[in-house]
């Protein structure tokens, strides 16, 4: 098996896509890949070997054993690089002129004003749908050194899912409303809204004490559309609709329901 085939097998086995890697750090004799979903994949494969299998123009070696994805740098002060999840990494090398230009453009795109947003004026047709739907806007926080997002639209179902009124949700900050949920959610939404990716997030909300499933897609640059399900409510609904007298294809779900 060739080196290229081994790396393809490694990425496939661990469900890793290049755009989901925030940074790579060599720690305790292992190479640690930090991903958007908050997971860390550890391997004995040398960092340099992994980097050669990726788009080298996106990954910068800022220090010994430290590689960052230049697409997700939100601030550079001296030799300190602040990543999209607010992780600050110390480096000894600096971005090239082209990389700095890319970073400046990324930050400009995330902050530019969008006074006219026709999408939001058309979403009233979703107000009474039985599934949760919201539109979020990615912004930098007031200090300019981290990413946050604001709810710009929520339908009525979001009130029961988020345990908050529409007035409490719309035009309010995620980190303000859900301080215990960390930055994993924010980083995933930012990836969708800025890089036009699509994600399905299955994760636990500490603030709400429930699991949520969120299907995310870019509506326009900086804006992310989210179809939101209360995971337990969805499973219970499925089980309630299945016949008790026939074998169920959903019996395996019962172990996940309280």
Is this structure's pTM higher than 0.75? no
User: Which pLDDT tens digits describe the chain residue by residue (258 residues)?
Assistant: 777 888 889 999 998 888 778 899 999 999 999 987 678 999 999 999 999 888 767 788 889 999 998 877 877 777 888 887 778 899 887 667 766 676 666 666 655 555 456 677 788 889 999 999 999 988 865 555 457 788 999 999 999 999 999 999 999 988 888 887 766 677 778 878 877 888 888 888 888 889 999 999 998 888 899 999 998 888 888 777 766 555 566 566 566 655
CB-count burial class (<10 Å; 0-12, 13-18, 19+) for 78: exposed
Calpha distance 251→255 (Å, rounded): 8
Residues 6+ apart with CB under 8 A from 254: 239
128 close to 156: Cβ distance less than 8 angstroms? yes
Q: Which domains does the chain have, with CATH numbers?
A: 3-107 (2.40.50.1020), 118-235 (3.30.450.20)
Strand-strand pairing, 80-83 and 210-220? unpaired
Count how many residues are written for the chain: 258
**Over the range 129-143, which residues count as b (16 or more CB within 10 Å of their CB) and which as e?**
eeebbbbbbbeeeee
Calpha distance 109→236 (Å, rounded): 41
Q: How many other β-carbons are positioned within 10 Å of the β-carbon of residue 1?
A: 7
């Amino acid at each position: 098996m060739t080196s290229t085939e081994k790396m393809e097998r490694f990425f496939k086995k661990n469900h890793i896509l290049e755009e989901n890697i925030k940074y790579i750090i060599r720690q305790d004799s292992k190479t640690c890949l930090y991903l958007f979903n908050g997971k860390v994949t550890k391997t004995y494969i040398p960092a340099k070997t992994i980097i050669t299998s990726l788009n080298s123009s996106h990954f910068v070696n800022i220090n010994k054993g430290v590689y960052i994805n230049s697409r997700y740098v939100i601030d550079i002060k001296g030799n300190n690089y602040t990543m999209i999840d607010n992780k600050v990494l110390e480096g000894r090398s600096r971005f090239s002129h082209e990389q700095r230009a890319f970073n400046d453009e990324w930050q400009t795109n995330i902050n530019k004003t969008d006074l006219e947003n026709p999408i939001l004026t058309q979403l009233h047709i979703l107000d009474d749908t039985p599934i949760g739907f919201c539109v979020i806007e990615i912004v930098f926080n007031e200090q300019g050194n981290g990413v946050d997002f604001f709810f710009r639209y929520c339908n009525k179902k979001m009130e029961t899912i988020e345990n908050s009124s529409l007035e409490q949700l719309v035009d309010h900050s995620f980190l303000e409303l859900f301080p215990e949920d960390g930055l994993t959610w924010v980083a995933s939404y930012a990836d969708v809204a800025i890089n036009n990716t699509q994600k399905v997030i299955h994760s636990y909300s500490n603030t709400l004490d429930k699991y949520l499933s969120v299907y995310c897609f870019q509506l326009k640059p900086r804006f992310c559309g989210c179809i939101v399900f209360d995971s337990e409510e969805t499973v219970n609904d499925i089980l309630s609709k299945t016949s008790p007298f026939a074998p169920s294809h959903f019996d395996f779900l019962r172990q996940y329901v309280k």
